A and B are shown apart, each in its own frame.
Chain A
């Protein structure tokens, strides 16, 4: 293993709120290798979205260092793809134009890449549909294709399937793993669903809230494709859940949480 692709050291982030300062992230340390699939899990308010937004360059004002290929994160850009919880497609553009966005679809190389990505996210036949005509899962796949067209060094996903129903969600997980298997794009995937975290990740990063810090990083040494019904999967799931429940108890003691 050489130098990590993404390296987070001594990351601290505070928010100023009406009730004073809130420590959103405390001493977060994380190294992500190229081609890894990291899932980040934690209860709401643990700062998992903040962590992702800092990596994306969308949030600033932190202390510590966050480097991608040895360079500090300057600001948002196409080397850090971002998938939001909502698809956030441009409603006035068709599927293919949304994927291309600012890139000219008329250029043969772009046209070809867009067609390949439409194939990859299994949206053949919907090239000229508008976002309003798509289901939630389809729209999210367009958003993924839009990010992948820019060949990001890392794809950051902020609870991308959180708003989908259970069946669509399971399907999307398979689609995403398929994309990862073919493209080897480094993924950092934030979720609050333990099954999802264990099903997708090489490593599961468990965050605890107030202040948001890493409680444990659990390696998931299961071969893909994984099956959620196997005992080995369930054992790892329980392991993660155990850490989670300790987090929950802390939260309850605080009297805050929900």
Chain B
């Protein structure tokens, strides 16, 4: 239940941010334009950056712990031009994607099965909920023992993280199907198969899309855990390697890259979501 609430909160704030410009324009046609409102979101990070750069410049904060934004940017350019950044990013993205597809796909599939059939719920759900309560970090030693420090253990760790949001939200979406529409399906003579394809699944799409976004977020999270612990490539490796040499700017570059990659994938899913949920009639903020 708590997870659901958090999820709803996330979706709410993300949705508001996404459509702020549109709603703003509708409510106040003569008010600030699109650009000005997009600029609003940049105000805070921009201000922090300027302050940070100034504090560094005057030597008021440790250059070792808080390298100046300018230094971080230089480090970024070096990493990017040497190709090191892109090679690591590719490795990381591939791990995230395969982990997400594996875990998320399974979550979707089991969510559908458990949502549709009460018997499979009784059979599977208690065990799955038990597994859900095991922290990802706690299974890391086991995964390394079983699969070594190769790709398998990392992808599986990511998959474990990505599995549960999609599983839970698909399940809830299916169970949330309006009973009144089931009556319509009966009156229209839908077969069991049609009931699933034409009623249950479309009705669950809003929840499934929320699950996809949360799963993707957790997939990136799982990636960081996997790469920081044991790996020889990837953005996480690049960061932990830099830490050993006290190369703080590279650590910051890694953080920024993770944030950007997460934001990019989330934005892509949100675009798909908006297209799929055109029919929804909900508050736009």
Contact = CB atoms under 8 A, between A and B. Distances in A.
Contact of A92 (B180, B184, B194, B205): B205
B279 A132 contact: yes
A193 interface: no
A20 interface: no
B188 A102 contact: yes
Given A84-B180, A132-B279, A92 B202 contact: yes
B187 A91 contact: no
Interface stretch (A65-73, A75-83, A228-236, A247-255): A75-83
Main secondary structure of the interface of B (DSSP, over half): helix
B198 A102 contact: yes
B244 interface: no
A192 interface: no
A56 interface: yes
A151 B280 CA distance: 30
A150 B202 contact: no
Contact of A130 (B190, B202, B203, B278): B278
Contact of A101 (B183, B186, B188, B203): B188
B186 A58 contact: yes
A141 interface: no
A55 to B, nearest CB: 12
Contacts of A78: 187-189
Interface string B240-261: 0000000000000000000000
**Residue among A76, A84, A146 with most chain B CB within 10 A:** A76
A92 B281 CA distance: 10
A224 interface: no
A77 B280 contact: no
**Residue among B180, B184, B194 with most chain A CB within 10 A:** B184
B281 A132 contact: yes
A76 B187 contact: yes
Contacts of A77: 187, 189
A90 interface: yes
A58 B198 CA distance: 20
A101 B187 contact: no
Given A88-B180, A90-B199, A92-B202, A80 B281 contact: no
A137 B284 CA distance: 25
A146 B183 contact: no
A86 interface: yes
A130 B194 CA distance: 21
Interface in B182-231: 183-184, 186-190, 194, 198-199, 202-203, 205
Nearest to A103: B188
Contacts of B190: 101-102
B280 A91 contact: yes
Nearest to A80: B187
A131 B280 CA distance: 9
Nearest to B198: A102
A81 B202 contact: no
Interface string A130-174: 111000000000000011001000000000000000000000000
A56 B187 contact: yes
A91 B280 CA distance: 7
A76 B181 contact: no
A91 B199 CA distance: 10
A102 B186 CA distance: 12
Contacts of B188: 78, 101-102, 146, 150
A88 B279 contact: no
B147 to A, nearest CB: 41
B198 A101 contact: yes
A91 B281 contact: yes
A101 B184 CA distance: 10
Interface string A33-68: 000000000000000000000001010000000000
Contact of A88 (B181, B189, B205, B280): B181
A107 B189 CA distance: 19
Contacts of B181: 88, 90
Given A84-B180, A88-B184, A130-B279, A76 B189 contact: yes
Given A77-B189, A150-B189, 6 more contacts: A58-B183, A77-B187, A82-B187, A101-B190, A130-B278, A132-B281
3 nearest interchain CB pairs? Answer: A132-B281, A76-B186, A82-B187
Interface of A: 56, 58, 75-78, 80-82, 84, 86, 88, 90-93, 101-102, 130-132, 146-147, 150
20 contacts: A56-B187, A76-B186, A76-B189, A82-B187, A84-B180, A84-B184, A88-B181, A88-B184, A90-B199, A91-B280, A92-B203, A93-B279, A101-B190, A102-B188, A102-B190, A102-B194, A130-B279, A130-B281, A132-B281, A150-B188
